[in-house]
Chain A
Amino acid sequence: MVASRAIGSLSRFTASRTLRCSGYICRSFTRSSALLTRTHINYGVRGDVAVIRINSPNSKVNTLSQELHSEFMEVMNEVWSSSQIRSAVLISTKPGCFIAGADLNMLNSCTTSQEVTQISQEAQKMFEKLEKSTKPVVAAINGSCLGGGLEVGIPAAFDMMLTGRGIRADRAKKMGLVDQLVEPLGPGVKPPEERTIEYLEEVAITFAKGLADKKITPKRDKGLVETFYLTELTSYALSIPFVRQQIYKKVEEKVRKQTKGLYPAPLKIIDVVKTGIEQGSNAGYLSESQTFGELAMTKESKALMGLYRGQTQCKKNKFGAPQKEVKQLAVLGAGLMGAGIAQVSVDKGLQTILKDTTLPALGRGQQQVFKGLNDKVKKKTLTSFERDAMFSNLIGQLDYRGFEKADMVIEAVFEDLNLKHRVLKEAEAVIPDHCVFASNTSALPIGEIATVSKRPEKVIGMHYFSPVDKMQLLEIITTEKTSKDTTASAVDVGLRQGKVIIVVKDGPGFYTTRCLTPMMSEVIRILQEGVGPKKLDSLTTSFGFPVGAATLVDEVGVDVAKHVAENLGKEFGERFAGGSLEMLQQMISKGFLGRKSGKGFYIYQEGVKNKNLNSDMDSILASLKMPSQPDVSSDEDIQYRLVTRFVNEAILCLQEGVLATPTEGDIGAVFGLGFPPCLGGPFHFVDLYGAQKIVDRLRKYEAAYGKQFTPCQLLVDHANNPNKKFYQ
């Protein structure tokens, strides 16, 4: 029952349509008139059951705000003091949401940890009172129930609080988080969502009555940890302190390994649970609220909350609804990207043509889509029938048949300007006038692709990230000629594909590739200076990158990396200097293209989890070895040489207007490139870490290496004026 809020609120817990009851003894006083109008919470009495309805006005979700707390306490006090009421049902009248956790605005408006601690203590009081309720309270949960919301419904969530991961309703029932599931209803004589909530309420009322009449007994009279599906034997084992110490240690180890110590919350939660179990619940509560207060004030918390807000913003179409909704999509090229784009389209019900030039290539792409869907069947998030229905939204073909009905064509052919020109001309010969032509490219300027177009206002860039079905980001690139409606259409399709979207201006490397390339250049330089790929990987992951730098080159593909580095190197000259492209060239000539060819810096084998270094790389690395400079080659310096180049380039993109907002820069960096989420993205990082410190580092490296480290003007401005922040 301890602090799951901090992380819980950032992730989704979808214990949809679940029910939970906790039964207690009855106490009675006089009953006051119940029908006072409150803002967030109201209740009515049916028989002897109070039905408490939560509905925060003007919001899609209910969040645990201070007003909601106080109203809830008022209502509960009335419920407890009424002699007529013997049990209560707690339900949200918002379809699809019970309580979505703590109100982030509320937390954000706090300036000190004491304030947050106080809020947390008030919430605790509420949860404690609810837990010790003298009358049975049944929480009827329909839809997302996150963080504190979960605590209202379910005062014992052990696994939840550590991972903050989403749990489906049926799984929640198995874990014992909820007692009963109510399946959503279909149409009746009123809208299904409405009737489902009514039905949930009816079922909850019968349960509340049953609990009050002692006809039903909740199966959980055990303490905190026991509810977490333990057998009697293990629960006996847990009563031995030594065993408990071992478990704490084990859990801590696991958490440390997963978070690399970069996210303070999970470890603190373990501390709090430990305090609660070893020193009693009061000490636990106190420790919880204090820790929560401290955590809310950490940089990590600010960065993550900022990221959460940014993500919400990038899930909206600020260009408005397109004139014509895309119903028929066509994807050119059934490679990794093309098939990925097709997959995220067909599973949202979008009719999609997948075109390639040869049957084997097309078949490979179709199989990729099928496998992507089938994996979800194996994970039981899809039924085989749903998979089949989705898969039949996909039409594979080798010609342009049906393109005359396409509303949007996304080309994902090889990164070769001539080829892109060819397919654009081929497509334009058959597609209708309103059809958008989108190019999925990571570096070729969209303007150059559009030069051969008859209708450049319909040409746009849609830069997906690999693997498309896993990576959330979509970078949309507009040229000066791209019309607003074309942009609106592209954003609309991207949102339907479930993407988080940033819209940037055209230019070499757009935003994401452009930020990554100088960092990659530095990666090569660092490798040349004798830092091994494994060491480099561990330095980058311990800084918070999800994938190590050397592994990233392997994943992207050495040939792609070289292609991009060359192109952008020509454009940006010395600012992209650093490592020698010769390394990539030699790797390509030896066939070390990264994961796709089985060899890169590492050796990749099917079914082998721990990858080994590719020993054939030694000679290449030796032949290109450069001396390292000791004063800028400490572990920390290596990390910052990589990160500051990334950050500097990101800020330059904002300075040059490639980026419209810092938010998009942060979202693009975190969701597309794996910039450490605990830092909140390059712009949050500058705000929280301090522009001056970053400039100082850049100057130090500039002195050692040259102009590639020269801080951009906007960053210098921020350093010179500490009041200047990207986020106010």
Chain B
Amino acid sequence: MAPHSSTLAWKIPWTEEPDFRMISLLTYTLKNLPNTSKWALRFCMRPLSSSSQLQAAAASQTKSKKTLAKPNIRNIVVVDGVRTPFLLSGTSYKDLMPHDLARAALSGLLHRTSVPKDVVDYIIFGTVIQEVKTSNVAREAALGAGFSDKTPAHTVTMACISSNQAMTTAVGLIASGQCDVVVAGGVELMSDIPIRHSRKMRKMMLDLNKAKTLAQRLSIISKFRLNFLSPELPAVSEFSTSETMGHSADRLAAAFAISREEQDEYALRSHSLAKKAQDEGLLSDVVPFKVPGRDTVTQDNGIRPSSLDQMAKLKPAFIKPYGTVTAANSSFLTDGASAVLIMAEEKALAMGYKPKAYLRDFMYVSQDPKDQLLLGPTYATPKVLEKAGLTMNDIDVFEFHEAFSGQILANLKAMDSDWFAQNYMGRKAKVGLPPLEKFNNWGGSLSLGHPFGATGCRLVMAAANRLRKEGGQYGLVAACAAGGQGHAMIVEAYPK
């Protein structure tokens, strides 16, 4: 605990120019901590105190609502969810195919929940970089995992919120009465990506296919040039703007005047909290995966708490030489898969399950993909809260996707700014700042890893598990995604 509290202090005296600091965060922290104890210390004590009846009662009294159940709409629950360990790309999963990872998540879910395979009405997976051989990776994984071949499956894609889309699609299917039991998940295997021949080469090969005579073939081959052989990589940049996400994140951080030090500190916080959660066995959604031909993988391997000094040595990764986004304060390329079992409440109860959480209101937003690429959470948060009739104070657990430290801090600053709310969101006043002591307490994408298509389910399970562990009622999940899109969802703890 001690090393954490020292590294997590927000009052590090690097600051010559106090206006660049996150004063708001600092003051908030100070306001909530009348004594000199660091908030991390407090965080460590929380799990202990939260189980006390007294505090739970006090918390529930301040809620503006008892539950978010709506008349005439089915309650939808997450029975449970699992994920494979998230690994740095190019490590133990590097010889697999995406559907192998997805299958591991599905098998893990079957094992964890013991749900009879034939009960599952539908399977939906999210993925971003598609393996062309298994473009409907949901179906390939389901067949391999031994689900009934009578259970249909489809794959969705929505950048980093693909598995969020898989889950909300499931919610829609259940709410409309089409299904009772749906498995939703996501998978990403960045160790292998489809590198294609150039368009010219592809065109030549296709023409060659159609050519009937030798003369035709020769004439096509004669057009070959050496540059046809240069390969085409999957786009790392935003298609509409040609700007890479890291570059955009760096500009975003600059726009909100977020310093390198702040970003490094936030990344360090993420890694430290993840390490702690891992050590304490809180990451219970992780299921071991016996990789064929290799050892069994049991835990995430990207969690690496470092020191601020070491992080400060890294050079900017995108805007050189003066940018602030580095490898240490960005999420890394990750392999991994996740899956959750979603049911209509009455179905789950009838089957004898004790669900973990309700999936409540959700919201998708989108905005300018150039200058506001990663501000999705800022836009989605107030909308989903208003839709659910909640306020920021009602939320006990925040699980935000951490694409970059700079992105998270920019979102926090945007939510804390009246100017931003008035000029860009059409709101009278600011959204409000999520309290940091409730924020990504078990680490986030920066430290746990970010397999694009699989992160959404991890967020929901982290929120559900934290609610159970920490004793809150409402969790807020939010994420940004390429294309300038964003998502937020309310997760409500299932009564114990």
Could you tell me which A residues sit within 8 Å of B by CB distance?
A: 47, 180, 183, 185-192, 195, 198-199, 203, 206-207, 383, 385
Q: Report yes or no: A185 in contact with B322, Cβ–Cβ below 8 A.
A: no
B252 to chain A, nearest CB (A): 7
Q: Report yes or no: B370 in contact with A189, Cβ–Cβ below 8 A.
A: no
Q: Report yes or no: B413 in contact with A189, Cβ–Cβ below 8 A.
A: yes
Given A47-B16, A180-B322, A195-B257: A186 and B252 within 8 A (CB)?
yes
- Measured in the bound complex, the distance between the Cα atoms of B319 and A206 in whole Å is 15
User: Which of B368, B371, B417 contacts A185, CB < 8 Å?
Assistant: B371
User: Which of B247, B251, B419 contacts A189, CB < 8 Å?
Assistant: B419
Chain B residue at smallest Cβ distance from A216:
B321
B188 to chain A, nearest CB (A): 25
Indicate whether B239 reaches chain A with its CB closer than 8 angstroms: yes
4 residue pairs, one from A and one from B, having the closest CB atoms: A186-B371, A188-B255, A185-B255, A385-B240
Contact with A along B415-434 (1 / 0, CB 8 A): 00101100110000000000
List, in ascending order, chain A residues with CB within 8 A of B257's CB: 188-189, 195, 198-199
User: Which of B16, B251, B417, B419 contacts A186, CB < 8 Å?
Assistant: B251
Given A186-B371, A385-B239: A199 and B419 within 8 A (CB)?
no
Q: Report yes or no: B254 in contact with A185, Cβ–Cβ below 8 A.
A: yes
- Measured in the bound complex, the distance between the Cα atoms of B238 and A383 in whole Å is 12
Indicate whether B50 reaches chain A with its CB closer than 8 angstroms: no
List, in ascending order, chain A residues with CB within 8 A of B254's CB: 185, 195, 199
Q: Report yes or no: B239 in contact with A189, Cβ–Cβ below 8 A.
A: no
List, in ascending order, chain B residues with CB within 8 A of A186's CB: 251-252, 255, 368, 370-372
B455 to chain A, nearest CB (A): 24
List, in ascending order, chain A residues with CB within 8 A of B419's CB: 189-190
- Measured in the bound complex, the distance between the Cα atoms of B251 and A639 in whole Å is 58
Chain A residue at smallest Cβ distance from B370:
A186
- Measured in the bound complex, the distance between the Cα atoms of B417 and A185 in whole Å is 17
Indicate whether B242 reaches chain A with its CB closer than 8 angstroms: yes
B414 to chain A, nearest CB (A): 8
List, in ascending order, chain A residues with CB within 8 A of B252's CB: 186
Indicate whether B241 reaches chain A with its CB closer than 8 angstroms: yes
Chain A residue at smallest Cβ distance from B430:
A189
- Measured in the bound complex, the distance between the Cα atoms of B372 and A566 in whole Å is 59
Q: Report yes or no: B322 in contact with A189, Cβ–Cβ below 8 A.
A: no
List, in ascending order, chain B residues with CB within 8 A of A190's CB: 419
List, in ascending order, chain A residues with CB within 8 A of B413's CB: 188-189
**Pairs across A and B, CB under 8 Å, 29 listed:** A185-B254, A185-B255, A185-B371, A186-B251, A186-B255, A186-B370, A187-B371, A187-B372, A187-B423, A188-B255, A188-B256, A188-B413, A188-B414, A189-B257, A189-B413, A189-B417, A189-B420, A190-B419, A191-B423, A195-B254, A198-B257, A199-B254, A199-B255, A207-B322, A383-B240, A383-B242, A385-B239, A385-B240, A385-B241
Chain A residue at smallest Cβ distance from B368:
A186
- Measured in the bound complex, the distance between the Cα atoms of B247 and A47 in whole Å is 29
Q: Report yes or no: A187 in contact with B16, Cβ–Cβ below 8 A.
A: no
User: Which of A192, A207, A385 contacts B255, CB < 8 Å?
Assistant: A192
- Measured in the bound complex, the distance between the Cα atoms of B16 and A206 in whole Å is 13
Contact with A along B359-382 (1 / 0, CB 8 A): 000000000101110000000000
Given A47-B16, A180-B322: A383 and B255 within 8 A (CB)?
no
A461 to chain B, nearest CB (A): 39
Q: Report yes or no: A183 in contact with B319, Cβ–Cβ below 8 A.
A: yes
Given A203-B322, A206-B322: A189 and B241 within 8 A (CB)?
no
Q: Report yes or no: A187 in contact with B255, Cβ–Cβ below 8 A.
A: yes
- Measured in the bound complex, the distance between the Cα atoms of B372 and A378 in whole Å is 27
Given A183-B319, A383-B242, A385-B239: A188 and B420 within 8 A (CB)?
yes
Could you tell me which B residues sit within 8 Å of A by CB distance?
A: 16, 239-242, 247, 251-252, 254-257, 319, 322, 368, 370-372, 410, 413-414, 417, 419-420, 423-424
List, in ascending order, chain B residues with CB within 8 A of A195's CB: 254-255, 257
- Measured in the bound complex, the distance between the Cα atoms of B16 and A47 in whole Å is 9
B23 to chain A, nearest CB (A): 11
A142 to chain B, nearest CB (A): 14
Chain B residue at smallest Cβ distance from A388:
B240
List, in ascending order, chain A residues with CB within 8 A of B247's CB: 183
Chain A residue at smallest Cβ distance from B417:
A189
B407 to chain A, nearest CB (A): 13
- Measured in the bound complex, the distance between the Cα atoms of B420 and A383 in whole Å is 28
Not counting A187-B420, A198-B257, A206-B322, a sample of 20 additional A-B residue pairs whose C-beta atoms are within 8 angstroms of each other reads: A180-B322, A185-B255, A186-B255, A186-B371, A186-B372, A187-B371, A187-B423, A188-B255, A188-B256, A189-B413, A189-B417, A190-B419, A192-B371, A195-B254, A199-B254, A199-B257, A203-B322, A383-B240, A385-B239, A385-B242
List, in ascending order, chain A residues with CB within 8 A of B319's CB: 183
Chain A residue at smallest Cβ distance from B319:
A183
- Measured in the bound complex, the distance between the Cα atoms of B321 and A207 in whole Å is 10
- Measured in the bound complex, the distance between the Cα atoms of B370 and A186 in whole Å is 8
A218 to chain B, nearest CB (A): 13
- Measured in the bound complex, the distance between the Cα atoms of B319 and A187 in whole Å is 18
- Measured in the bound complex, the distance between the Cα atoms of B252 and A545 in whole Å is 50
Chain B residue at smallest Cβ distance from A195:
B255
Chain A residue at smallest Cβ distance from B371:
A186
List, in ascending order, chain A residues with CB within 8 A of B414's CB: 188-189
Chain B residue at smallest Cβ distance from A180:
B322
List, in ascending order, chain B residues with CB within 8 A of A183's CB: 247, 251, 319
A159 to chain B, nearest CB (A): 26
Q: Report yes or no: B240 in contact with A185, Cβ–Cβ below 8 A.
A: no
- Measured in the bound complex, the distance between the Cα atoms of B241 and A359 in whole Å is 33
List, in ascending order, chain B residues with CB within 8 A of A185's CB: 251, 254-255, 371
A55 to chain B, nearest CB (A): 21
B19 to chain A, nearest CB (A): 10
List, in ascending order, chain A residues with CB within 8 A of B370's CB: 186
List, in ascending order, chain A residues with CB within 8 A of B240's CB: 383, 385
List, in ascending order, chain A residues with CB within 8 A of B368's CB: 186
- Measured in the bound complex, the distance between the Cα atoms of B374 and A187 in whole Å is 12
- Measured in the bound complex, the distance between the Cα atoms of B17 and A198 in whole Å is 13
List, in ascending order, chain B residues with CB within 8 A of A188's CB: 255-257, 410, 413-414, 420
A17 to chain B, nearest CB (A): 12
- Measured in the bound complex, the distance between the Cα atoms of B236 and A227 in whole Å is 34
- Measured in the bound complex, the distance between the Cα atoms of B319 and A192 in whole Å is 18
B323 to chain A, nearest CB (A): 9
List, in ascending order, chain B residues with CB within 8 A of A206's CB: 322
List, in ascending order, chain A residues with CB within 8 A of B251's CB: 183, 185-186
- Measured in the bound complex, the distance between the Cα atoms of B195 and A629 in whole Å is 76
Chain A residue at smallest Cβ distance from B247:
A183
- Measured in the bound complex, the distance between the Cα atoms of B82 and A221 in whole Å is 61
Interface centre among A186, A192, A206 (most CB of B within 10 A): A186
List, in ascending order, chain B residues with CB within 8 A of A187's CB: 255, 371-372, 420, 423-424
- Measured in the bound complex, the distance between the Cα atoms of B241 and A241 in whole Å is 48
- Measured in the bound complex, the distance between the Cα atoms of B257 and A187 in whole Å is 11
- Measured in the bound complex, the distance between the Cα atoms of B423 and A188 in whole Å is 10
A384 to chain B, nearest CB (A): 9
A16 to chain B, nearest CB (A): 15
Chain A residue at smallest Cβ distance from B240:
A385
- Measured in the bound complex, the distance between the Cα atoms of B112 and A76 in whole Å is 73
Given A186-B252, A187-B420, A189-B256: A383 and B372 within 8 A (CB)?
no
- Measured in the bound complex, the distance between the Cα atoms of B127 and A708 in whole Å is 78
List, in ascending order, chain B residues with CB within 8 A of A192's CB: 255, 371
Interface centre among A47, A198, A207, A385 (most CB of B within 10 A): A385
List, in ascending order, chain A residues with CB within 8 A of B423's CB: 187, 191
A652 to chain B, nearest CB (A): 53
B240 to chain A, nearest CB (A): 4
A207 to chain B, nearest CB (A): 8
- Measured in the bound complex, the distance between the Cα atoms of B414 and A185 in whole Å is 14
- Measured in the bound complex, the distance between the Cα atoms of B256 and A198 in whole Å is 11
Chain B residue at smallest Cβ distance from A185:
B255
- Measured in the bound complex, the distance between the Cα atoms of B256 and A195 in whole Å is 8
- Measured in the bound complex, the distance between the Cα atoms of B485 and A360 in whole Å is 40
List, in ascending order, chain A residues with CB within 8 A of B16's CB: 47
- Measured in the bound complex, the distance between the Cα atoms of B422 and A189 in whole Å is 10
